[in-house]
Amino acid sequence: TKKRLALAQVRKDIVKLARYLQGTRSLVPLRLTVVDESPQRSRSLGRRRAMFISKKNRLECYSYLFKEGVCVAKKDVFKPQHDEIEIPNLEVLNLMKSLKSRGFVRETFNWQYYYWYLTNEGIEYLREYLHLPAEIVPATLKKASARPVSAGAGARPPNAERVDDGPGFGRGFGRGGGDGFGRGRGAPVEASA
């Protein structure tokens, strides 16, 4: 990289200077030591650090994700504990980031909250990782039971007009008809004598 090229040029210039000084002053021995950056430090500058997560916490997070099929976490790395799982929020964020990079979850970010949804590949991976049988599926894939419909809460027919006693917000099922402003007002009503 540019840093290494610049450092190599500095070394060459120092060696040239040392040879010149030794040639003019033969009585003074000259020793030059070039201090270089350690290769360990220069390699780690561009990398992210790895995070060690205990197997207990990893299993707890993965089992929760498999059971629910989704996971929600606030974007807060200093939060001591996740809302649903008994592990630090930072570990949940990093585990989900790892699963996302491998294509096992789909991520949505909205209003400082992350939402992760298991993909089919993620379900297979977690089933294998957690040693679960094929009969067990996440809650998002289970069929919802039929709920009883309460009286008056049935669905409206598609062409039904909405009956409204007073002024309301929104457009409702019909257009126009009100004395509001904007589109749909129609022609002015003539007064009859």
Name residue 72's amino acid: V
Selection from 6-20, 86-100, 132-146 with the highest mean pLDDT: 86-100
Report CA-CA distances (Å) from 96 to 32, 65, 91, 112. Answer: 51, 10, 8, 15
Among 35-44, 82-91, 132-141, the least confident range = 35-44
Q: How confident is the model at residue 136 (pLDDT cuts 50, 70, 90)?
A: confident
- Arithmetic mean of pLDDT, 78-85: 89
Q: Is the pLDDT of residue 34 over 60?
A: no
Cα–Cα distance between 191 and 127 in angstroms, integer? Answer: 74
Name residue 68's amino acid: E
Q: How confident is the model at residue 83 (pLDDT cuts 50, 70, 90)?
A: confident
Tell me what the pLDDT averaged over the chain comes to. Answer: 75
pLDDT of residue 45: 47
Between 137 and 20, name the one with better pLDDT: 137
Q: Is the pLDDT of residue 16 over 50?
A: yes
Q: How confident is the model at residue 15 (pLDDT cuts 50, 70, 90)?
A: confident
Exposure class string for 68-101: b at 16+ Cβ within 10 A, else e:
ebbbebeeeeeeeebeebebbbbbbbbbbeebbe
If you write DSSP's letter for every residue of the chain in order, what string do you get?
A: -HHHHHHHHHHHHHHHHHHHHHHH-TTS----------HHHHHHSSSPPP----HHHHHHHHHHHHHHSEEEEES-TT-SS-SSSSS-HHHHHHHHHHHHHTTSEEEEEETTEEEEEE-HHHHHHHHHHTT--TT---GGGSPPPPPPPPTT-PPPPTTPPPP-SS--SS--SS---SS-SSTT--SPPPPP-
37-55 pLDDT, tens digit each: 545 544 444 556 778 889 9
pLDDT of residue 42: 44
pLDDT of residue 180: 56
